[in-house]
Chain A
Amino acid sequence: MPRLATLVENEDPQGLDALDALFPLTGRAHVVGVTGPPGAGKSTLVAELLRHIRGAGRRVAVLAVDPSSPISGGAVLGDRIRMMNHHADNGVFVRSMASRGRQGGLASATAGLVHLLDAVGYPLILIETVGTGQDGTDIASLADTVVVVEAPGLGDGVQAIKSGLLEVGDVIVINKADQPGAEDAQRLLRASFDLAHPNNGRFVPIVPTVSTTGIGVSDLLAAIDDHDAWLTETHQRSLRRERAARAEVLAGLRAALDRRLESGPGRSPELMALIGRVARRDLSPRRAVEALAVALDPPGRGNSIGD
């Protein structure tokens, strides 16, 4: 299975074919996205969560996503360090993934690995990722339950609200809750939620935790399980599944379009000529794009990309 995960991640045709064959088996796992700004303590928190989950005898898989260097293409995948205690435990599977500079494609690749873990029977799948906007919300849409981990002093609460992460959060965690500012952060978040985010009429819990000692982690697990139950009771799960399917299909489509641009039209003499004209102020960028859109999608075929 780890080899299959590699083939899926590398978009190897054999891996993707296998994934297609396994796809009907998916849809059973509870997928939990754990996101939040760097420095909030997500890795340590996930490691603590693992301890509690295993303590209850439940099987779990973790997908830890880290950013790739845009310059070298390499990555340091260091989330696993804190989870090494579970090495002998067959009920835990931990896999690290680099973002590889894919934009839409990251969600595609992550979704692929999630489906694989789901199909082989892990009932709970945690995706740990840095949420700094685009990637955070992309991956959030793949999850049934989104946990946003904040910490006091990482920039004020306004930053968190602006970044849009709170809008997708089903459970909010204030980690490092033993530090000054934690209570204020909690108050601020609670107030902003009450005002602005009805979230389908559900009360969004804010859970204080101290991941280094484990305080609050059992409450977090309970909140995650509660959300799972809520999804079932209110039939919201099918909406989440649609949201996830939409995210995955659109992400795959964008990645395919990117590839098309890179290969054919992206290198064509026509494109180079148009770009030259824009640089010389001979043609406006908008007209250049229109000309290209027409080339990709000739008129008379209904909706075109340029519309």
Chain B
Amino acid sequence: MGDNERRERDKTMEADASEARGAPVRILIAKPGLDGHDRGAKVLVRALRDAGFEVVYTGLFQTPEMIASAALQEDVQVIGLSILSGAHMALFPRIMDELHERGLEDVLVVAGGTIPKADIPHIKALGVAEVFGPGTRLATIADYIRDNAPRPSPLW
């Protein structure tokens, strides 16, 4: 079988296989800043796993640089920022800057926690796609991510 024939057959096989499987969406969940409460984030991480996502959880006390550098290495399609400390207006602009600096504009960024409704337009103006208030159903978050996550784009 010639190289071209083999390539065509491989492409069909692989396309069929990944269509059937659909490579799972990779998500990074991070808690920026000095917020020390992680129970909610852990519940979210497990719920997202149960919804079929692969969740890289980076834990507490993340700096904007740590979050962006992890997102780059793990090549995640989605970043979820969980913050209960009220420092979102200080931290989110820096996080978005670090992401832009690394060329991660295509990553879907969502946020959750105790974020006042008045701040939401400002946060969205930074590039955060959606903000989930406390009490949002986990299924709602999972559905949103599933509907809006980008697919990994080709290299060239």
Interface residues of A (CB under 8 A from B): 2-7, 9-16, 18, 68-69, 71-78, 80-81, 84, 87-88, 93-96, 98, 100, 259, 262-263
Q: Specify which of A4, A10, A93, A263 is in contact with B18 (CB 8 Å cutoff).
A: A10
B58 at the interface (CB under 8 A from A): yes
Contact A98 B24 (CB under 8 A): yes
Contact B59 A87 (CB under 8 A): no
Contact B46 A87 (CB under 8 A): no
Contact B55 A76 (CB under 8 A): yes
Contact A7 B152 (CB under 8 A): yes
* Chain B count of residues within 8 A CB distance of the other chain: 41
Q: Specify which of A2, A10, A77 is in contact with B57 (CB 8 Å cutoff).
A: A77
Contact B152 A6 (CB under 8 A): yes
The distance from the CB of B145 to the nearest CB of chain A, in whole angstroms, is 12
The distance from the CB of A65 to the nearest CB of chain B, in whole angstroms, is 12
Contact A74 B155 (CB under 8 A): no
Q: Which residues of B contact A13 (CB under 8 A)?
A: 7, 10-11, 14
The 3 closest A-B pairs by CB, nearest first: A74-B49, A2-B75, A10-B23
Q: Which residues of B contact A16 (CB under 8 A)?
A: 14
Closest to A260 in B: B13
- From 18 to 36 in chain B, residues with beta carbon under 8 angstroms from any chain A beta carbon are 18, 20, 23-24, 26
Q: Which residues of B contact A68 (CB under 8 A)?
A: 24, 54
B135 at the interface (CB under 8 A from A): no
Contact A69 B50 (CB under 8 A): yes
Take A3-B155, A11-B14 as given contacts and tell me if A84 and B70 are in contact as well, using a CB distance cutoff of 8 Å: yes
Q: Specify which of B16, B54, B154, B155 is in contact with A263 (CB 8 Å cutoff).
A: B16
Closest to B60 in A: A81
Taking each of A16, A73, A77, which has the highest tally of chain B beta carbons within 10 Å of its own beta carbon?
A: A77
Q: Specify which of A74, A78, A80, A98 is in contact with B48 (CB 8 Å cutoff).
A: A74
CB 8 Å contact bits of B58-95 with A (1 = contact, 0 = none): 11001101100110111100000000000000000000
7 contacts across the A-B interface (CB closer than 8 A)? A74-B53, A74-B55, A75-B24, A78-B57, A84-B70, A87-B63, A262-B20
CA distance A75 to B154 in the complex (A): 24
> 7 other contacts beyond A74-B51, A76-B57, with CB at 8 A cut-off?
A9-B23, A12-B18, A14-B156, A76-B46, A76-B55, A77-B56, A98-B54
CA distance A282 to B134 in the complex (A): 59
Contact B24 A100 (CB under 8 A): yes
Contact B75 A5 (CB under 8 A): yes
Q: Specify which of B14, B46, B59 is in contact with A81 (CB 8 Å cutoff).
A: B59
Contact A11 B24 (CB under 8 A): no
Q: Which residues of B contact A14 (CB under 8 A)?
A: 154-156
Taking each of B11, B23, B48, which has the highest tally of chain A beta carbons within 10 Å of its own beta carbon?
A: B23
Take A10-B23, A11-B18, A13-B14 as given contacts and tell me if A84 and B66 are in contact as well, using a CB distance cutoff of 8 Å: yes
CA distance A16 to B23 in the complex (A): 15
Contact B49 A75 (CB under 8 A): yes
Contact B50 A74 (CB under 8 A): yes
Closest to A81 in B: B59
Contact B74 A259 (CB under 8 A): no
Q: Which residues of A contact B72 (CB under 8 A)?
A: 2
Contact B155 A18 (CB under 8 A): yes
The distance from the CB of A50 to the nearest CB of chain B, in whole angstroms, is 14
Q: Specify which of B10, B52, B55, B75 is in contact with A77 (CB 8 Å cutoff).
A: B55
CA distance A10 to B151 in the complex (A): 11
